[in-house]
Amino acid sequence: MGQKERALKTRTHFAHRIDMLDAAGEIQEHLAGVEDYLLAEAVWREAIARWPRETIILGQGARVVHDSRRLRVVK
């Protein structure tokens, strides 16, 4: 088997994605793509801990599974 045959393909589509949104609700930055749900949820929780003032979502296809805006308490 040659070097070219053993090269790994870079994946660009995953079952779950973690994105940071801007004030208008548009994707500002794609943070991660993860296949496994439990790992994706752990990455999302770490992202909201890292950037607590940002809006970060965990999506599965077109569905938003978790949204950091839902965690904030308004006083």
Q: What is residue 24's three-state secondary structure?
A: coil
Rounded to whole angstroms, how far apart are CA atoms 15 and 13? 7
Rounded to whole angstroms, how far apart are CA atoms 16 and 24? 22
CA distances to 6, 7, 28, 39, 68 from 1, in Å = 7, 10, 42, 33, 47
Note the pTM of the prediction, 2 decimals. Answer: 0.79
Residue 54 token pair = 């940002």
Say which amino acid occupies 2: G
Residue 1 token pair = 């088997």
Q: What is the pLDDT along the chain (75 residues), one digit of tens a residue?
A: 555 656 677 777 899 999 999 999 999 999 999 999 999 999 999 999 999 999 999 999 999 999 999 876 555
